[in-house]
Structure 1
Amino acid sequence: MKVSLLLGCFPSDKYDEIVSNSKGVIQYAADALQKSFLEGLSTFFDDIHVINLPYIGSFPFRYKVLTSSTGKFSYVSQNGKCLEGENVKFLNLTGVKGYSRYVAAKRSLIKWCENYMDEEKVVLVYAIHSPFLKACVDAKRKCKSLKIILIVPDLPDYMSDNKSIIYRMSKKCDAILLKSLYPYVDGFVLLSKYMTEMLPIGNKSWTVVEGIFNNSQDDVLVDKKTSKDALQYIFYAGTLAKRYGVMNLVEAFMHITNQNTRLVICGAGDSEKEIVKCTSIDKRIIFKGQLPRIEVLKLQKESTLLVNPRTPEEEYTKFSFPSKTMEYLASGVPVLLYKLPGIPEEYFQYCYSIEDLSIECLTNKMNEILSLDSYELKLKGDKAREFILREKNPASQARKIVDLINSLY
């Protein structure tokens, strides 16, 4: 069987270039997850072909360069396998970017298929991205034996707060196109079981991979504070969107009276200005902005408590598994989460959780956790890390995808 992955990750040799040319939010979490899929699948397949068109912002508003980089793609896994393919060039201009990505992806995928016309073939495509999915469908029309597996980390209806007329019209057109493409998909990899309610899956095969923790991206040196009166650090990293509860965390922290406590926030989003304003009111709040992932991992491990303030009252929380959840739990640092429906129940025995949505309750819960003995906190963090490394490693999670592929034949 021949396997191809149609992805949008950042090649290691182009990583710094992409970060440097980006304006605004950078898709660090999506990049890490895609590389974790590569890591896991390399355990089961010796020959995987990667077709890569990075998920970057559009020129000129969100990216500084008009075209994407081209050349050979390679990813060396922890088991020593080198997965190869191509970084496919596309025109990154606002308005034509989507069509250019479609044409470029289609050309590369059909070329790959034609090399193996008499063999079983499957393409795994990352995300509900209509240029990618249409490229796969057109390739399938030409190469009838091609199977399509769609990896769904997010649902389009819940990916943005943009309410402009132009955006809504474009998303409506995109939804119509996607509806015509879904029937050609043979299997689905979902982030949440509740996604089956929103996608036309019917009797088709599907599996849930809520996330993958790749510890090859986790090897950072840290400087843990061990002094009895060391400062206690509460940490949050991610998209700074109001709907994700970051301002609730800031407000709750400002009610903590202990002057030896600090709140460290990393990321970018619509709450940045408010957060900066709060740093001038409460000097204990430290805003770092958007940092390289390796620096975020280091700050996480140096913290006392990691908090995800996303609350469960909005419907989209059924269909998402916050990418930071697995990364937080794998850090070995205690984690505080709300009980989101998209997070499987097994996770909550390894973290602290909260169900009351009031600011006061969040303040009290953080105070309660920070008052615990350091040994108890370490034990909680260590057990969480062991769980993630044991159950959510790339090979364990990719095994579900391999079983899904086998079910198609």
Structure 2
Amino acid sequence: MRIIYLTTAMMPKDFNNLVKISKVKPNPSSQNFHYKIIHELKKDNDVTVISLRPANSTTCDQHYFEHEINDIFIYPSFFNKKLFKNFTFIRNSKKIISSLKYNEQPIVLVDLLNPHLAKLAHYIRKNHGGRIVGIITDNPNNLSNVNHRYIKKVESSFSYCNAYITLTENLNKYINRRNRPFLIIPGILSEDIIVKEMPVNYKYIFFGGALYERYGVRNLIEAFKKVNTEARLIIAGHGPMKEEIALLAENDPRFIYAGLLSFREMLQYQQHALININPRIFTSDLDYYSIPSKVIDYADSNMPTISSLSHDLKKIYGDSIHWIYNSSIDQLAQEITNVLKNIDEKKQKAIKAKKIGRQHFDPKIIGNKINSFFKELF
């Protein structure tokens, strides 16, 4: 099948290079999800990726991004200025799209959380034919630092699509207002990579993610202060709490700030942790629409996972993950203590969690589901 994938995801090395020059680091969550799908789809399909590099004049001082190609990824050039970025990106993308060969009508996969990519998808269908499959990984109302205008733009793009791929049933109900074909994919793992080298020479508990208070990071810090253990708490990621966490780590040796890690480094830290923790504070809106992708990754580490409740993932993993039901500091501290006291028993649960995750989220399984979905539709 001929697939054009419109995304802000990049080749991992290219993404890491962008991170290095960015003042505000791009969120790796979207990068990881879309790249894993792209990596799997290209094995059986003719895939071209048009990538809008996730940088703007606020997050990065580079004034101009040149046209670049890396494998199947095409990065159209753009001026990195507020009034020019999207205009120049769309203009240059249209030129690239017009130059592509179309032996058959393409399937256009598009990240609907970026309205500019959605407009580009609409342009492709109008001028070159094909079908649009919208991918959405969260309700835009749940995203940080977005305004009402952005949300309306995202919602207006839903009608462009012939079909949808979403993480949850409820997210599909939100987006799929005309009852069009859909596929639910709660997540996707990477290929099963084992990193044998330990990242540090001491025992630790690990959290890696966006450093926001609303995601439970402060609760995790306060909970860990209550736990009697020689292990340290390693926090990795980027966000508003970065400076506070870095300062805490300077003054308290029990806390380590590891910065923003590469994909391989994340695997390494997860696979050698005593416990991997997702402290995200439970809210009904987040639980209704969102899947904490880090929990799927943590559960693949063969080490115990503690997480705030996700009803969708609990249906899959059962008690192989240690669920926290009220997101309180005391309960989080209690659960960390409980796992540490019974670590050998909990590791057996972790092995079960990895097996369950591979049965549901292995990239080959997800790739086959998407390919079958496309064949049935088109």
Q: Same fold (TM over 0.5)?
A: yes
* Distance in 1 between residues matched to 2:363 and 2:176, nearest whole Å: 28
Going from structure 1 to structure 2, the CA distance change for 1:90 and 1:208 (only over 3 Å counts) comes to same
* Distance in 2 between residues matched to 1:222 and 1:140, nearest whole Å: 48
The answer to whether the aligner puts 1:395 opposite 2:360 as a matched pair is no
The answer to whether the aligner puts 1:331 opposite 2:301 as a matched pair is yes
* Distance in 1 between residues matched to 2:292 and 2:242, nearest whole Å: 20
CA deviation vs aligned residue, 1:234-275 (integer Å, no higher than 9, x gap): 1100001111101111111111133x1211111111222433
* Secondary structure of residue in 2 paired with 1:368: helix
Aligned to 2:119: 134
- Aligned 1:297-316 pairs, distance under 5 A: 297-316=267-286
* Distance in 2 between residues matched to 1:200 and 1:274, nearest whole Å: 41
* Distance in 1 between residues matched to 2:375 and 2:87, nearest whole Å: 33
* Deviation of the 1:213 alpha carbon: 0.6
CA deviation vs aligned residue, 1:330-376 (integer Å, no higher than 9, x gap): 111110112123535112332111213321111111101000143x2
* Distance in 2 between residues matched to 1:7 and 1:223, nearest whole Å: 33
Structural RMSD (CA): 2.4
* Distance in 2 between residues matched to 1:15 and 1:277, nearest whole Å: 27
* Distance in 2 between residues matched to 1:321 and 1:373, nearest whole Å: 26
Going from structure 1 to structure 2, the CA distance change for 1:178 and 1:266 (only over 3 Å counts) comes to closer
Answer whether contact 1:337 1:354 (CA < 8 A) is retained: yes
Going from structure 1 to structure 2, the CA distance change for 1:184 and 1:224 (only over 3 Å counts) comes to closer
Answer whether contact 1:125 1:148 (CA < 8 A) is retained: yes
Residue among 178, 181, 196 paired with 1:202: 178
Residue among 53, 74, 99 paired with 2:87: 99
Deviates more, 1:8-17 or 1:207-216: 8-17
* Distance in 2 between residues matched to 1:184 and 1:95, nearest whole Å: 25
- Aligned 1:59-208 pairs, distance under 5 A: 59=57, 61-74=58-71, 84-112=72-100, 115-116=101-102, 119-143=104-128, 145-160=129-144, 162=145, 168=147, 171-172=148-149, 174-208=150-184
* Distance in 2 between residues matched to 1:69 and 1:348, nearest whole Å: 48
Aligned to 2:216: 245
Aligned to 2:47: 48
Aligned to 1:78: none
* Deviation of the 1:158 alpha carbon: 1.6
Answer whether contact 1:101 1:131 (CA < 8 A) is retained: no
Q: State TM-score, norm by structure 1.
A: 0.84
* Distance in 2 between residues matched to 1:94 and 1:317, nearest whole Å: 34
Q: Report how many aligned residue pairs link the two structures.
A: 378
Aligned to 2:30: 30
Answer whether contact 1:236 1:266 (CA < 8 A) is retained: yes
The one-letter amino acid paired with 2:303 is V
CA deviation vs aligned residue, 1:121-150 (integer Å, no higher than 9, x gap): 21111342111100111221223x310001
* Secondary structure of residue in 2 paired with 1:310: coil
Aligned to 1:275: 245
Going from structure 1 to structure 2, the CA distance change for 1:344 and 1:135 (only over 3 Å counts) comes to farther
Going from structure 1 to structure 2, the CA distance change for 1:15 and 1:175 (only over 3 Å counts) comes to closer
Residue among 58, 83, 86 paired with 2:56: 58
Deviates more, 1:234-243 or 1:32-41: 32-41
* Distance in 1 between residues matched to 2:67 and 2:21, nearest whole Å: 15
CA deviation vs aligned residue, 1:282-304 (integer Å, no higher than 9, x gap): 43111222233322322222210
* Secondary structure of residue in 1 paired with 2:5: strand
Answer whether contact 1:337 1:351 (CA < 8 A) is retained: yes
* Distance in 2 between residues matched to 1:224 and 1:20, nearest whole Å: 21
Unaligned runs of 5+ in 1: 75-83
CA deviation vs aligned residue, 1:202-244 (integer Å, no higher than 9, x gap): 210111111111126x44232399xxxx964211000011111
* Secondary structure of residue in 2 paired with 1:399: helix
The one-letter amino acid paired with 2:56 is S
Unaligned runs of 5+ in 2: none
Aligned to 1:223: 198
The one-letter amino acid paired with 1:287 is Y
Going from structure 1 to structure 2, the CA distance change for 1:362 and 1:16 (only over 3 Å counts) comes to closer
The one-letter amino acid paired with 2:231 is T
Going from structure 1 to structure 2, the CA distance change for 1:106 and 1:131 (only over 3 Å counts) comes to farther
Question: Alignment identity in percent?
Answer: 23
Q: State TM-score, norm by structure 2.
A: 0.91
* Distance in 2 between residues matched to 1:96 and 1:151, nearest whole Å: 26
